Structure formats: structure tokens, C-alpha cells
Structure 1
Amino acid sequence: MILDKIDKIVNEYKEEIIDSLRQLIKIPTENPPGLNYNEFVSYASKWLSSLGYSTEVIKVPNTELPKLAKLGYGDRPNLIATTGKGKLSIAFNGHYDVVPAGKGWSVNPYDAVVINDRIYGRGASDMKSGIVAQIYSVEVLKKIINVDQAFKIRHFLVPDEETVGNENAGTYFVIREGYLSKSNTDYVIFTEPSGVENICNGHRGSLWGFIKILGKKAHGGSPQLGIDAIRKSTEVLTQLYSLQDKLSNKRTKYNIIPSDVKSPSLIVGQIKCGDWVNMVADECTFGFVRRLIPEEKLENARKEIINILESKKTRDPEFKYEYEEYYAVDTIVEDTKNPLYESLSEAITSVLNVKPKIGLLAATFDMRFTHYAGIPAVNYGPGKIELAHATDEYVNIADLLNSIKVLSLSLYLLGKKYGMLN
């Protein structure tokens, strides 16, 4: 039986799988700003070459970095690793950048320690475990069938997913340049953290932006001579959080992963005001993120925020503001009636003995680019979205191994459905 063979081979690979993930975590690819990208891609390229892949590194031209990497600096390399000449073309997609580790960890976030059958570290869940899972799912299957004859497999290891954007230096760039397209790819499999029992067919909509409130400088001893941008901001911030309270009362009918995220939300995640304690602040800038549920439209979410600003402007002649959007996308929903979703569902049931849940990821990810390019895609990965970006981020070793079994069996079943395997 195919699953018995997969189980046996994954068990034989276990220590190598764990070590491979630990090595990836130990390279701190924090974004912003985009640290150690070249080091990571060099390491991954050598690793995949040793597994029999042909590799190509695609760098974004320096002239385009201000546009495609607005929140970072330095090279933006994309790694494409290819094996096989089969008719069924599968592209795996994993981003290698991670959010900054921050403070408060009980372990060093880049030591990749193993404690109680968990691998800890920044990127353990989001999503270097996904990269390891996609690579070893192919390696396991190579021990059972002639993968290169049935498939053309490509791994796209991309940067800059974490800083999102309507355009970016990763998946957007490789699609724009034609390396990944509807004409050369049958399916894309993302391995973002979904939880091993879940299949993601899209993500919620999102609106990221910055609001700058403008004032006038003055000495702290004579504040009446200035216009206090911080004070002007307080009413706006209060109304934004009142809007969040209203949003929390809405509930979607769609399945969302994780399942307890059923409401839209709005946060102010960053505030920067003033230059010195003894000066009236002439600027106050805050960044916000508005998450949508599928029943909402992006344009309406945008209007709610603009209306708060315009209302304040009408009531206060001194109030001036600048509004800038960094990222805006409506909810993305992929069609699940195709052999890829069928194969993945069957594989989860076989490996885990559960009926998989299909839903939309609460956070956005690069599937928006493949969706708009018309390339059928799915997301399935070993990490849990609840642990992404968290202090003491980890992945369960059992989940990592099971995800490899699921992906390997999915490829096998998909090949059978397309008549690529005897």
C-alpha cells in the first residue's frame, strides 16, 4: 500500500528532516529590512542542487527595489529549483523571509532548539517548516515512483511575503516576469501555516495604510503658538477603535482558519509622533491594518476610515491629514472543484483519519498573485497560523512529518488522476 511505503520512508528521513528545518531557522532572514537573504538562497540552492534539482536565482533589478521592496533594503533574490520533465507541472511556493523575532523569548529564536517534540524558532511555523515539507514530500515520493517522468516539479523560494504589498519582490515579480504562469504551471501549492487538518482555498481581504496628522511646531513652554498633532490624533484614534468595536459584532458565514476568527478587525499597530518631549509635535503618523470578512468589500472598508478623517476635518479647520495606502486586496476565494483539492482531501483523510476542513486563511498571503494570474492554487502547510509571528514560535515535529506524508500522497493521487502513473 502506498501510504505504508510513505510512512516508512518519512520515518527513515525523520532526523534529516528535523535537521534541515533547524538549519533554515538558524539563518535569520528578518523582514523588514530583509536580512541574510543572499546567505539563505545560497544555502538553499546548494541543498536543492545536492538533491538533483537545477537551480536558478532571479534577482530584482536594483532600479526596481524602491518600488517592490519599499520597507526594506538590499538584494531580493528568488530561488527556482526544478526537477522532472513530466507533463503535469506543479509549482510549490514558500517564502523564506520571517518577521523580526522581537523580545521576550524563552529560547534564542535562532538556535532552533528542540524541546518536547517541538522545534522552536522564528519561522518554525511561518513558514520554513512549509519549505521543508514541500521539499521532502517530493524526496519521499522519489523513493517510490519515477517522479521526474510523471511531473515537472518546481520550488519557488521567495522573499518579501511578510511585508505584503500590491506588488512585491517575490511571487509578484516571478509572475510578472513569466517564470510562473498559467501557461507553464498546472497547479501551485503554497505551504503557509494552515494546520495539518486544514486546506486553505484563499484568504480574507485586507487594507494596510498610514495616516499622518499635520500640526505646527512650538516650544513646550508656549504650546498655544503651535498646533498639536498628537492631540489632533487622539480623536481620530478613538473613533478608529470605536469602529473596531462595531466590527467585532459582525460574523462571517464562511469557514476561516483559525476557526475562532469570524469577525472583521481593525488595529493601529504603530504610532510615531513628535521629535522631542519639549516641543509641540507637528506630525503624528500611525499605521493601521483593516481585515475584512468575505461579506465585506474593500471599497466600503476604505470609506469607513476616510469618513472618520473627513468628519474631523469638517469640524476642525486646523485639522490636516495625509492618507496613504500600502496594501489593499479583497477576499480571495479559489475554486475547490478540481483534482488538486480532491487529492489533498483524500490524502488528509488517509493520513490523519479525519475529514479536512476547507476555509480561508485569516491572514493574507501570496495566493492573491496566482489568483489574479489565473493559476489554480491551494494552501496546505504544517505550521499553525496562531503561532505565526508569536513569541516562542514553534512547529510540532509530528505535524511536520504528517504534512510531508499528506503532500507526498497528494502528489501520488494527483498523478494517478491525470494518468501519469501506472
Structure 2
Amino acid sequence: MDIDEAIDEIKKDMINFLIKIINIPTENPPGLNYEKFVDYMYDFLISLDYNIKIVEPKEELKELVKYGSGRRPNIIANYGNKGVKIGFNSHYDVVPAGKGWSHDPYNATIEEGKIYGRGSSDMKSGIASQIFAVEALKIMNNIKDKITIRQFIVPDEETVGNKNAGTYYLVEKGFINKENLNYLIFTEPLNPTNIGIGHRGALWGTFNLYGKKSHGGFPQKGLDVIRCASKIINYIYEIADKRSKTISKYPIIPEEAKRPSYLVGTINGGEWMNTVADFLTFSYVRRLIPEETLEFARNEVNEIIKYTENECKGIKIEFLPYYEVDNIMFPVDNGVKIISEKIKEVYNVNPSIVLSPGTFDIRFIYNKGIESFNYGPGLLELAHATDEYVYVEDLIKSTKVISLFLKEFLNK
């Protein structure tokens, strides 16, 4: 049987599987239905003859989970025990669906060749693709004694952090290491004719401002943190405008992400309209380009604090970093070259080798001696979007690409 016949045989089951897992709302934060999802996956992977291990932090949970609560189970599924050791990594958590959908985010539907639902692109289609690529290969070959497949399906990618209860925990506990993996492929949505070799750096944190209450009839007696925050935020965006004139020479997608970016995502402060606010907090996200360093971004925060001290006399300011990661860029090694050939074979286009605008769990294995890259079926521009979808054609074709990639390693 050839690859097209094998893909044709598994595609209906793959689509049904994807619909099933989309319909389990694994929203993070806070971490809904994690156990329900893992229970379903456990039974499903057992039916495919995988050996399964469920690994989860217990005493470390408070340290690893800042946003959310409840158990954080990881799935490690192994198939075969010979030959080249190839792992796949995907996360099962999704961002909250929010409002405004024209399709029910957790009752997945197929319309005009698209599967709609939260997580369809980011990244439950990646889970489906990495599992069913192996199933297609099994139809074509007796592979159990020719290759080793490891599926790592993890929580808590969406809330990022310097540590997390998913991939970080598996790396720290030795479940992901260079002794048990030659390759680790992430299936995040970077568009199915792109290969990701890393991502931009980032610095996330919160600014906390402490002032003094007073009556709204004589606000001069207070220390107004809202007035202060407006100055700081304007200053941040002034810096943003200056920095945005720099355009990276690196292949970051989309084109807009080749410029440094700044975001004040949330502002919370004040208790009553007729009282001077004495506390305010706002979040800050700074995205780097490879021409910048994390240290540069930290120094920039110090500049903002100094500006505040000059402009907001008497108000105390503190910056609490939540997440810091430098630019990540893996070399273009053997695996990238092979999957490039397979993308060209299936899609009849030359693939692009790119950097992601946002960070993902590949950062945890940087410099760990494992060859790694990202390839998956989802569309980057639909990650976190209302009415998120994945094309059925891309799901099928990217699964074919991955299956052909794996086929290269049989008997090696």
C-alpha cells in the first residue's frame, strides 16, 4: 500500500478524533477538563498499542502553576523500541474561547472544508496529525521493531512562564532528554508550508504603582496612581514607536513581527470614581527581535522605572517579571532538510524556514542536545482567534508530510 492509500484509510478516523478532542473544553486558564481529556487520550492511545505513562507534578504544583488550579497531567506514549527515536510534542490546553463566535467553539463543525472550534489550529490538529501520521505509517509497514515513537501531550503551554507543569516539568524530570530522543518535533500552528526553527524573545511582567487615597473633591491631597500610569503607558508607547523603526533581517512571520513590539494588555486600579486611586497594576509584554537581547529589554524596564520616579513624585513603583526568554534559533540540521523535501513533495512548493512571533515550548529543550523543529497543520493567524478553524486539506496533507518524514527513518 502506498502513502496516499494509507492516508485515505485513516483520514475519516483522524477527522472524527479531532472533532472529539476539540469538544473537550480544555481552557487554560484555569485548566478545565484536563483529567477528562487525559482519560480519553489514555484509552485512545492504548487502543493504538502505545505504552502509556501519565506524569504530573504534585509537590511542585504551586511553583509551576501561577494561573489556574487543579491537576496537570502529562501524557507520555511510546510505540516501538528500536531504531531512531523520534518524539512529538503538543499541548492540549487552549485559550478561553470568549464571546462573539458564529460557530459553537466546543461543538466542532465542518463547513466549506474547514473544521471550526477552539483549538482546531492551536493546536489540537497538531495532536491529531502527529498521532495519525504514525497510524498511516503502520498501515504501510510493520514499524514496531524499526523505529521508536514518543508522543508527549502536555498541559499549560498557553500560560507560558519560565517554568510550567508541561514540557518544562518533563525536561527537568528527565522524561525528555538526548538519550531517549534523536529528534523532537513540535506541531504548533505555523502554517503547513513553513518549518519553525525557533521564536522571538519576550519579557512579560506587571508594573505595580502605590499611591495615596484622598477625596475626589480635593485630589491634590492624594497621590494619583491612575494619572501616573497614564504617563508611564504613554512613555512605553513612545519607546515602542522609536524601536519599531528597526526591522529584523531574520525570517520572522508574519511580516509585522519583524519589528519589536510592546503591549499593555491589562490595567486594573481604583475603587470608586470619587476616590483618588492608591493602587494600580498593569501588565507589560515586550517582544524582542534577534538583533536585541533580553538584557537590553531588562535595561529598558529600568529606564521606564527611572522615568516614573521623576514624573510621579512620591509614588512607589515595582516591576515584577513573570516570564523572560531570549531569542531561540535552532540550526537547520538533517531533520529540517528531510521535512523540507516532504513538504515540497506533498504541497509542490518550496517551504519557508521561519521563526515564530510568539514563544512556545521548544524553548525548554534549547541547548539540550536534541535536534528539534516545528511543523504542524494549523494556521498561525487563527491561533487564539474567534471562529478558529483548520482546513481539512491541511490536516490531511500535513499528516502525509509527517508520515513521509518518519518513513525516511525506518531501518536506520
TM-score class, shorter: over 0.9
Aligned with residue 59 of structure 1, among 33, 39, 56: 56
3-state SS of 1:148 partner:
coil
RMSD: 1.3
**Equivalences for 1:65-214 in 2 at 5 Å?**
65-214=61-210
Aligned with residue 373 of structure 2, among 361, 371, 378: 378
- 8 Å contact from structure 1 (residues 85, 148) kept in 2: yes
- 8 Å contact from structure 1 (residues 25, 122) kept in 2: yes
Shift in Å at residue 241 of structure 1? 1.1
- 8 Å contact from structure 2 (residues 28, 96) kept in 1: yes
3-state SS of 1:155 partner:
strand
Show CA shifts across 1:312-357 (max 9, x none).
203443131110111111110101122x112101111111111111
Identity of aligned residues (%): 50
3-state SS of 2:321 partner:
strand
Q: Partners in 2 of 1:316 and 1:237 — Cα distance?
A: 13
Q: Partners in 2 of 1:198 and 1:48 — Cα distance?
A: 28
Shift in Å at residue 217 of structure 1? 2.0
Structure 1 residue ranges, 4+ long, deviating more than 4 angstroms after superposition: none
Q: Partners in 1 of 2:247 and 2:278 — Cα distance?
A: 39
3-state SS of 2:2 partner:
helix
Aligned with residue 320 of structure 2, among 309, 317, 324: 324
3-state SS of 1:149 partner:
coil
Show CA shifts across 1:365-413 (max 9, x none).
0001011423211100100111101111110010110100000001112
Show CA shifts across 1:108-167 (max 9, x none).
111111111101111010000000000000000001112211111111010000011111
3-state SS of 1:257 partner:
coil
- Between the two proteins, the alignment pairs up a number of residues equal to 412
Structure 1's 315 and 241: CA in aligned 2 closer, same or farther, altered over 3 A? closer
3-state SS of 2:257 partner:
coil
Q: Partners in 2 of 1:16 and 1:260 — Cα distance?
A: 38
2:37 is matched with: 40
Shift in Å at residue 214 of structure 1? 1.1
- 8 Å contact from structure 2 (residues 129, 395) kept in 1: yes
| TM-score between both structures, scaled by the size of structure 1 | 0.95
| TM-score between both structures, scaled by the size of structure 2 | 0.97
Aligned amino acid, residue 32 of structure 1: P
Aligned with residue 17 of structure 2, among 17, 20, 31: 20
Structure 1's 278 and 374: CA in aligned 2 closer, same or farther, altered over 3 A? farther
Shift in Å at residue 182 of structure 1? 1.1
- 8 Å contact from structure 1 (residues 240, 305) kept in 2: no
2:358 is matched with: 363
Q: Which moved more, 1:149-158 or 1:4-13?
A: 4-13
Shift in Å at residue 259 of structure 1? 4.0
- 8 Å contact from structure 2 (residues 84, 409) kept in 1: no
Stretches of structure 1 that go unaligned for 5 or more consecutive residues are none
Aligned with residue 344 of structure 2, among 343, 346, 349: 349
- 8 Å contact from structure 2 (residues 204, 285) kept in 1: yes
Aligned with residue 285 of structure 1, among 269, 278, 281: 281
Aligned amino acid, residue 146 of structure 2: A
3-state SS of 1:239 partner:
helix
- 8 Å contact from structure 1 (residues 94, 191) kept in 2: yes
Shift in Å at residue 236 of structure 1? 0.1
